[in-house]
C-alpha cells in the first residue's frame, strides 16, 4: 500500500512517490511514500489556517485526552514502530524501540503539560490597575525534521504544538518518511479535528520551501544541518516567523588523567559510535590529557574491535549501517581528509561487506590530530572520532570551546573541581559528567549555543517559550 499525505483529515496521493529503502539491505523496500508538490503543501497550510480558530479555543482537557491517547498507542506499539525505525534508518532494533518509547512518553508528558497551562496576575505600578500575563497559541506551526531521529523529533515538535493549541504542518526528511507517516496515521485516528495536524512528505526545496516562505505559517521549528538552517532562518525572516533551529554539532568529550578508564571508554564508545555516530549529540572530538592518553587509546581500540557491525534488525548488532550512499561517501571522504592532514588512523576507516547489500562502515578512530584539522572542525555525522592529545584540563577546556558549534560536551573525571568548572565554562547547551554526550531525558530542555541552535529551547516545560505567544493585559476594574 502506497503511503499518502494527510491534508485536512484526508489521505491524499502525492504528485509523485519515492521508495523508502532499508540501508541494512537495499533489496528491501519498505514502501512507496508520497512526494507532495508546492500546491499540496499550500493546501495543508490552508487547512491548518482554517482549523486554527476553533482548535485554539479547545479545552485543555480535550487536548490532554487526545495527546494521552496518542502516547498510549505509541507505547503499546513501540516494538513494531521501533522495528520500522531500524528498518528505514539503520539504528539497531533496541535503539529503535527506545526511540519509539521516547516518542510515546513525550506525548504523555505534553498531555499533562496541556492541563498545567497557567498565567500570572501581578500588581501594576499604577494604583488600582491589575496586570495579567497569559499565554496563547502561536498559530500554524511549520515543522521540518531530519532523518536521524525519525519518530522522536517529530514527536517532540508535534506534541507541544498541539498541547498549547497550535495547528501543525510537518515535513519529515524525505529519506525516512516511514515513522512520521506511522505517527500521522495514529494521530489521524485520534479525536483531533481535521486540519489541525497535516503531514506533507517530499523534498526540502519544494515542500520545505513552501512552508518556510508561506505567510500563513506563523512559526517554524527546524532540525537539521547548519547550512539548511541558516538558509531557512534567512528566508523565514521575510515573513517575520517565529523561528527555532536545532542544528549540527562537533561535540567534545574530555578524558582527564584521573578518569575511571572503564567509564571513559564506555562513554566514548557510546557517544562516538552508537547509532552509527549519526546523532547531533555524538561526541566526535575526544580530548585526552597526556597521562592517560596511551592507556585510553589502547583500551578504546580494543573495545572497538569487539563491536558487531551488521544488519540493524539482527540480534546482537551493536552498530547498524550508515543511512544512505551519500552519507557513506561523506564518511569515506572525511577519512581521506583526516589522513591527508596527518591524522593517524588506528581503527576502521573502511566500508564493510555483510551478507546483505547495505551501507556498512567500520567505526573509525584517528589519533595525533590537532584542533585546526578539518576532522576536528566540521561535522562528519558518521561513526568517526578523533583524539586530540592535550597537556592538562585547562588546555582541554580551551580546545573543547574552540569550535563554531555548542550543542553538548562531556567530561570523564573523578575530580569534583574539574567537573564543576567544566559545567560552568563549557560553551554548550548540555553538559554530561561521566555520561555519554548522546542520550537525554524527555522532560528537560534540549538545545545548544553558537552554531548549533537558534531560538527558544525544545522539550520539557521550556517548549512553551516557542509554542506560545505571551500577552500582557492591563485591567482597570471600574
C-beta closer to ligand NAD: residue 70 or 170: 170
**Least CB distance to ligand NAD at residue 281 (A):** 7
Tally of CB atoms within 10 A around 235? 16
Here's the x/- map for ligand NAD, 280-299, by CB under 6 A: it reads as x-------------------
Size, binding site for ligand NAD by CB under 6 A? 29
Rounded Cα gap, residues 6 and 40, in angstroms:
10
Active site annotation includes 280: yes
User: CA-based angle 327:333:334, to the nearest 5?
Assistant: 95
d(CA 301, CA 307): 10
Q: Does 149 bind ligand NAD (CB under 6 A)?
A: yes
Q: Which stretch binds ligand NAD (CB under 6 A): 51-59, 158-166, 219-227, 354-362?
A: 219-227
Laid out side by side, the sheet with 219-223 consists of 10-12, 5-7, 197-199, 167-171, 140-144, 219-223, 242-246, 453-454
Instruction: Establish if 44 lies at the interface with ligand NAD (CB under 6 A).
Output: no
Binding to ligand NAD by residue 156, rule CB under 6 A?
no
Helix axis angle, 60-76 to 93-115, nearest 10°:
170
CB of 262: closest distance to ligand NAD in angstroms? 28
Phi, psi of 16 (to 5 degrees): -150, -175
Binding flag, residue 274, ligand NAD (CB under 6 A): no
Report the alpha-carbon distance of residue 99 to residue 149 in Å, rounded. 8
Q: Are 154 and 140 in contact (CB under 8 A)?
A: no
- Residue 431: count other Cβ atoms within 10 Å of its Cβ: 17
Among 52, 55, 107, 147, binds ligand NAD (CB under 6 A): 147
CB-nearer residue toward ligand NAD: 146 or 349: 146
Stretch that binds ligand NAD, among 223-231, 256-264, 305-313, 369-377 (CB under 6 A): 223-231
- Span from 180-188, 202-210, 293-301, 465-473 in contact with ligand NAD (CB under 6 A): 202-210
90 interacts with ligand NAD by CB under 6 A: no
> Are 327 and 380 within 8 A, CB to CB?
no
Sheet with 344-347, side-by-side order of all strands: 344-347, 364-367, 384-390, 283-289, 251-255, 408-412, 430-433
Q: Which stretch binds ligand NAD (CB under 6 A): 19-27, 76-84, 110-118, 208-216?
A: 208-216
- Supply the residues annotated as catalytic: 280
| Contacting residues toward ligand NAD, per CB under 6 A | 144-149, 171, 173-174, 204-205, 208-209, 212, 223-225, 228, 231-232, 246-249, 280, 379, 381, 407, 452
Amino acid at each position: 500500500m502506497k503511503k499518502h499525505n494527510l491534508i485536512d483529515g484526508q489521505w491524499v496521493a502525492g504528485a509523485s512517490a519515492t521508495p523508502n529503502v532499508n540501508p541494512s539491505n537495499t533489496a528491501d523496500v519498505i514502501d512507496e511514500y508520497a512526494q507532495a508538490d508546492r500546491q499540496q503543501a499550500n493546501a495543508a497550510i490552508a487547512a491548518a489556517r482554517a482549523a486554527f480558530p476553533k482548535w485554539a479555543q479547545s479545552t485543555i482537557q480535550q487536548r490532554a485526552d487526545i495527546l494521552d491517547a496518542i502516547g498510549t498507542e505509541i507505547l503499546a506499539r513501540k516494538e513494531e514502530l521501533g522495528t520500522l525505525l531500524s528498518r528505514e534508518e539503520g539504528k539497531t532494533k533496541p535503539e529503535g524501540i527506545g526511540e519509539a518509547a521516547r516518542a510515546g512518553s513525550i506525548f504523555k508528558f505534553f498531555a499533562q503539560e496541556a492541563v498545567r497551562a497557567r498565567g500570572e496576575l501581578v500588581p501594576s505600578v499604577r494604583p488600582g490597575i491589575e496586570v495579567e500575563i497569559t499565554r496563547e497559541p502561536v498559530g500554524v506551526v511549520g515543522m521540518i525534521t531530519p532523518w536521524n531521529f525519525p519518530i522522536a523529533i517529530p514527536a517532540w515538535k508535534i506534541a507541544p504544538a498541539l498541547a498549547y493549541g497550535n495547528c501543525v504542518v510537518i515535513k519529515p526528511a524525505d529519506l525516512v518518511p516511514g515513522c512520521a507517516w506511522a505517527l500521522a496515521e495514529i494521530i489521524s485516528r485520534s479525536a483531533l479535528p481535521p486540519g489541525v495536524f497535516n503531514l506533507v512528505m517530499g523534498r526540502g526545496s519544494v515542500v520545505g520551501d513552501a512552508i518556510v516562505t508561506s505567510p500563513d505559517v506563523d512559526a517554524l521549528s527546524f532540525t537539521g544541518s547548519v547550512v539548511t538552517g541558516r538558509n531557512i532562518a534567512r528566508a523565514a525572516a521575510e515573513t517575520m516567523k517565529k523561528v527555532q533551529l536545532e542544528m549540527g554539532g562537533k561535540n567534545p568529550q574530555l578524558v582527564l588523567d584521573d578518569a575511571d578508564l572503564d567509564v571513559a571508554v564506555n562513554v566514548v564508545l557510546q557517544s562516538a559510535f552508537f547509532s552509527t555516530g549519526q546523532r547531533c549529540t555524538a561526541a566526535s572530538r575526544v580530548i585526552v590529557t597526556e597521562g592517560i592518553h596511551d592507556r585510553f587509546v589502547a583500551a578504546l581500540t580494543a573495545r572497538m574491535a569487539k563491536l558487531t557491525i551488521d544488519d540493524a534488525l539482527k540480534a546482537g548488532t551493536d552498530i547498524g549501517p550508515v543511512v544512505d550512499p551519500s552519507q557513506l561517501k561523506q564518511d569515506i571522504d572525511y577519512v581521506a581528509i583526516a589522513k591527508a592532514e596527518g591524522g593517524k588512523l588506528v581503527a576502521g576507516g573502511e566500508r564493510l561487506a555483510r551478507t546483505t547489500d547495505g551501507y556498512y562502515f567500520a567505526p573509525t578512530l584517528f589519533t595525533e590530530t590537532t584542533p585546526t584539522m578539518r576532522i576536528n572542525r566540521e561535522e562528519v555525522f558518521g561513526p568517526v572520532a578523533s583524539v586530540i592529545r592535550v597537556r592538562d584540563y585547562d588546555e582541554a577546556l580551551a580546545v573543547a570551546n574552540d569550535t563554531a558549534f555548542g550543542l553538548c560536551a562531556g567530561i570523564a573525571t573523578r575530580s569534583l573541581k574539574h567537573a564543576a568548572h567544566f559545567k560552568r565554562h563549557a560553551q554548550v547547551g548540555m553538559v554530561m559528567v561521566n555520561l555519554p554526550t548522546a542520550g537525554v531525558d524527555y522532560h528537560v530542555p534540549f538545545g545548544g549555543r553558537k552554531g548549533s541552535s537558534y531560538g527558544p529551547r525544545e522539550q520539557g516545560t521550556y517548549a512553551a517559550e516557542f509554542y506560545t505567544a505571551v500577552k500582557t493585559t492591563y485591567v482597570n476594574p471600574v
